[in-house]
Amino acid sequence: MTVFKSFLSANMMPTFLKLSLTILLLFSVNIILNKAVASEVIEKQEKNQDSVAYSKKGADTCLKCHDEDNDYPIMAIFSTKHGHSKNTSAPFTQKQCESCHGPGALHSKQAKKDITSGNIINFSINSKTPVAEQNKACLSCHKGDERSHWQGSDHESADVPCGSCHVMHVKNDPVLSKLTQASVCLSCHKKQRSEIHKRSSHPIKSKQQTCTDCHQPHGSVADHLLVKPTLNQTCFTCHAEKRGPVLFQHEPVEDNCANCHVAHGSNHKALLKTRTQLICRQCHSAAGHPSLAPSGTALPGNRHRALGRFSVGKECLNCHVKIHGSNHPSGSKLLR
């Protein structure tokens, strides 16, 4: 409660007042719209009575056309959990194909008239079926746990259908395998695809690490869909030696790893944002330790070569070794 009170402190007042008024306005509009939408839904339901009928013979109706010679092979579903005949959770022990694809009577009727698509739920990014309708079919079973954060998550808000990442009619869904997952994610996340080719990156190219080691694509409490509540907590799952708490801390490290590092790729060593000495000098300019210009004159072979220790090797870290914090009693300057 103290936390909440401090948050609503004096300097936050104008923002929160505006926020409250905005909410009031929006929710007033909500009352009117909700009523209008409710009547619209009832009207639509009446119109669509024909399209909610299931096929007469279930999957046999579907498999007459969608056989092994079909353009889009589907028979591999029988090698998956979805296509199992005894698994009581599986679609095939319920309404078979129509458990996921929805009532198909109208679809099969039209197919006989050579109308080859429509009136059925199709799962993909290019599908005519609205994304929300596609995802509703999946979420009717795959609810809870991580999917609790799906609504309002980055992927959901961007209208990403489940079928954009998951493929059902194959033996092994590529996104669920460490060996093939990155290629699925990077087919949309094209900036990250470039970044992993840089000089320094996590071992994603070599398939030793994968996207879901750090990200939870179904939604999470953290920014950027991270698996832990904060960026640092996510990083510390693998880099636990940086977690401390050490005797002499380096505060930016405790704040946010991203103060100095980037996650997907960098042209600088250790995924640093820029050269070590430049990063350090963005925060340090002490009396006893002059903030020397990052000059080439300090390099070996030049007049001021004694200053080269700031520019070569591990640069500032040649001496300030414990940049992530020191647990040495004489480590206040992160030297030990």
Partner 1 sequence: MSMQIIRQSLIFIILLFNCSLALANDNTKDSQVNSNWRCKYCLFEESAGLTGTIDLGIYFQSDESIPYSKYTGLNEKGSSPLLNVTAKYLDLQGYYGDLILTNTFLDNTYLNINTGFQSKYNINLSFNQISQQYESIATVYSNNNNNLTLPESWDFADNTKDFNLSDSNFNNATLSTVRDIWRIAVDYQLEDFTKDKAPHFTLSYQRDLKSGVQSSGAVISGDNAFAATGSLLANQVDMVTEQINAKVNYQFWDWNLSFNYYASIFKQEFSAISWQNPFSRQVDGAEYGQMSTAPDNTLNQLTLAVHKSFSSKNHLNLHISAGDVRQDHTLLPYTINANSNELMMPLTANNSRVKTLNIYGKWLSQFSERWRLDITYKLNDKSNKTEVNYYQNFIADTELSPIHRQNSPYSYQNQSANIRLQYRPKWQGKIELGLKQTQIERTYQSRKQTNETLGWLKSHNNLSDTLSSEIKFSIANRTGSAHIPVSFIAPQENPLMRKFNIADREKILAEYALNYMPNDSLTVDLLINYGREQYQDSPIGLQKSQFSSVLLDLFWWQSEELSLFAYIDIEQYKTSQTGSQNFNEKDWKNDLKDQTSSLGIGFEYQLLIPEFQLGFDMSFMHADEVNTLSSDQLILSLQSLPDFTIDIITVKLYGKYQINDHWSLATDLLYHDYQDQQLDDITLSSTSLSDYLLFESYPLDADVFAIATQISYNF
Nearest to 92 by CA among 104, 75, 78: 78
The reply to whether 87 sits near partner 1 by the rule CB under 8 A is yes
In terms of Cβ atoms closer than 10 Å to its own Cβ (0-12, 13-18, 19+), residue 322 is middle
By three-state DSSP, how is residue 285 classified? coil
Give the integer Cα–Cα distance in Å for 284 and 220.
35
Closest CB to partner 1 among residues 57, 224: 57
Scanning residues 50 to 79, which ones bind partner 1 (CB under 8 A)? Answer: 54, 57-60, 63-64, 67, 75, 78-79
Torsion (CA) 222, 234, 280, 275 in degrees, nearest 10: -100
Sign of CA dihedral 26, 27, 32, 34: positive
The reply to whether 293 sits near partner 1 by the rule CB under 8 A is yes
- Strand segments, DSSP code E, in 51-158 are none
Scanning residues 295 to 324, which ones bind partner 1 (CB under 8 A)? Answer: 295-297, 299-306, 308-309, 311-314, 317-322, 324
The reply to whether 92 sits near partner 1 by the rule CB under 8 A is yes
Amino acid present at 288:
G
From the CB of 110, what's the least distance to partner 1, in Å? Answer: 20
The reply to whether 86 sits near partner 1 by the rule CB under 8 A is yes
Instruction: Give the residues across from 272 on adjacent strands.
Output: 261
Nearest to 206 by CA among 215, 197, 216, 214: 197
Q: How many CA atoms lie within 13 A of 213 on its CB side?
A: 20
Of 15, 48, 70, 117, the residue at the interface with partner 1 (CB under 8 A) is 15
Backbone dihedral angles phi then psi of residue 248, each to the nearest 5 degrees: -110, 110
Of 49, 69, 72, 85, the residue at the interface with partner 1 (CB under 8 A) is 85
Please count the residues of this chain forming the interface with partner 1, following the rule CB under 8 A: 160
From the CB of 111, what's the least distance to partner 1, in Å? Answer: 15
Backbone dihedral angles phi then psi of residue 310, each to the nearest 5 degrees: -80, -15
Stretch that binds partner 1, among 5-13, 104-112, 114-122, 161-169 (CB under 8 A): 5-13
The reply to whether 127 sits near partner 1 by the rule CB under 8 A is no
Of 40, 43, 48, 118, the residue at the interface with partner 1 (CB under 8 A) is 40
Q: Which residue in this structure is represented by tokens 């950027």?
A: 224
Stretch that binds partner 1, among 93-101, 105-113, 114-122, 160-168 (CB under 8 A): 93-101
From the CB of 335, what's the least distance to partner 1, in Å? Answer: 5
Amino acid present at 267:
N
From the CB of 44, what's the least distance to partner 1, in Å? Answer: 10
Nearest to 301 by CA among 317, 312, 291: 312
The reply to whether 288 sits near partner 1 by the rule CB under 8 A is yes
The reply to whether 47 sits near partner 1 by the rule CB under 8 A is no
Q: DSSP letters of 15-38?
A: HHHHHHHHHHHHHHHHHHHHHHHH
The reply to whether 248 sits near partner 1 by the rule CB under 8 A is yes
The reply to whether 183 sits near partner 1 by the rule CB under 8 A is no
Stretch that binds partner 1, among 34-42, 105-113, 115-123, 161-169 (CB under 8 A): 34-42
Amino acid present at 128:
K
Stretch that binds partner 1, among 108-116, 161-169, 273-281 (CB under 8 A): 273-281
Of 51, 110, 122, 252, the residue at the interface with partner 1 (CB under 8 A) is 252
From the CB of 265, what's the least distance to partner 1, in Å? Answer: 9
Closest CB to partner 1 among residues 41, 115: 41
DSSP symbol at 51:
G
